[in-house]
Amino acid sequence: MSLLRDRILSVSRPLEHIPVPEWESSVFIRPLSLSERLELRRLADDDAEITIQTVIRGVVDDAGNPVFTADDRDWLLNSQGNGKIIEDLAKAVFGASKKAPEALEKN
């Protein structure tokens, strides 16, 4: 096996801590996989659905477990006073998905 391949496959992306004072809590975000990003691309004509699905897939707890499920879609979409928070979380997930893992940046 290639040492380069082994190094690449061993890289993991850490979760990013995001305080959400409006919810008196914090969440973590994780980068989306290529498969998830391609799936979201199919929703290209629906910005709201892309935002909601990004939050469902990318917002996790400190163990990496999803905070939201598909059952929370309507709440995420319609909850008053949380629109900006949800948009900001989606932007953070997109940002994390574009960053190179530190282990690869150093080499």
Residue recorded with tokens 């850490």: 14
pTM of the model: 0.82
For residue 63, the model assigns a pLDDT of 92
For residue 14, the model assigns a pLDDT of 82
Q: Whose CA is closest to 62, among 37, 11, 25?
A: 25
Return averaged pLDDT per consecutive 10 residues of the chain, 107 residues in all: 86 89 95 90 86 95 95 93 94 83 43
For residue 1, the model assigns a pLDDT of 63
Q: What's the CATH number where 8 sits?
A: 3.30.2220.20
Q: Whose CA is closest to 106, among 7, 3, 5?
A: 7
Q: How many domains does the chain have?
A: 1
**CA dist., res. 16 & res. 2, Å (int):** 30
The domain in which residue 14 lies consists of: 3-105
